[in-house]
Amino acid sequence: MEGPLGARVLNPALQPVLEALHHVLAGGEVAVHVLRRGNADIVHELNLRAERVTVESAHLDTEAGDTLSATV
């Protein structure tokens, strides 16, 4: 989001990405093309964070499953 408080809008560059995501979530298929690469260090850090969240989410799912199994 960008812009002043009370008038924030989605960055126009993100609109097609968001629309593509909606199609994927609705069962569609999309193609993504990077037109200009971003800062390599920031991209790397964001990729690491995404991997970490995926691992942590799987761990939480496993713990929740163990808790649910113990109560049934």
Tens-digit pLDDT profile for the chain (72 aa)?
899 999 999 999 999 999 999 999 999 999 999 999 999 999 999 999 999 999 999 988 888 776 655 555
The count of C-alpha atoms lying within 13 angstroms of the C-alpha of 49, restricted to the half-sphere facing its C-beta, is 6
pTM of the entire predicted model: 0.66
List all residues 6 or more positions away from 20 whose beta carbon is below 8 Å from its beta carbon.
Answer: 30, 32
* Cα–Cα distance measured from residue 55 to residue 49, given in angstroms and rounded to the nearest whole number: 10
Strand partners, 9: 2
The domains of the chain are located at 1-33, 37-72
